[in-house]
C-alpha cells in the first residue's frame, strides 16, 4: 500500500530541509529533490510558506534561495514535538 504524505508532513519536510541548509539558504533545485515534489507543487507550498512568514525568499542573479525565519523555526519545533506525541500514541499525522 502506498502511503502519501499529508500537507503538514510536506511543510515539515520543507522546513527541515531549509533549516539544515543554514544561513546560506537552499536553492529551488535542492529543495525539489530533498522534498521529493514536482516544481508546480513546490511552488504552491513555497508561496504559502513565504506568505505565512515561515521562510524568506532571496532572489539573486535570477535564482531563488530560501532561508528559514525565526517564526519558521518555532513552527518546526512545535511540529516535531506534536509529531513525536502523536507517534507515541500510535497516530500518524
- Write the pLDDT tens digit of every residue in 26-82: 999 999 999 999 999 999 999 999 999 999 999 988 899 999 999 999 999 999 999
Rounded to two decimals, the pTM is 0.91
Cell of 63: 535564482
Q: Which residue has the higher pLDDT, 91 or 50?
A: 50
7-87 has CATH 3.30.460.80 classification: no
The backbone torsions φ and ψ at residue 69, rounded to the nearest 5 degrees and listed phi first, read: -95, 165
Strands 55-60 and 26-27: unpaired
Amino acid at each position: 500500500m502506498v502511503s502519501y504524505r499529508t500537507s503538514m508532513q510536506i511543510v515539515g519536510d520543507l522546513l527541515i530541509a531549509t533549516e539544515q541548509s543554514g544561513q546560506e539558504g537552499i536553492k529551488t533545485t535542492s529543495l525539489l529533490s530533498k522534498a521529493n515534489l514536482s516544481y508546480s507543487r513546490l511552488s504552491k507550498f513555497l508561496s504559502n510558506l513565504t506568505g505565512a512568514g515561515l521562510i524568506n525568499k532571496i532572489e539573486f542573479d535570477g535564482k531563488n534561495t530560501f532561508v528559514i525565519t525565526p517564526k519558521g523555526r518555532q513552527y518546526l519545533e512545535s511540529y516535531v514535538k506534536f509529531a513525536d506525541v502523536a507517534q507515541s500514541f500510535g497516530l500518524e499525522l
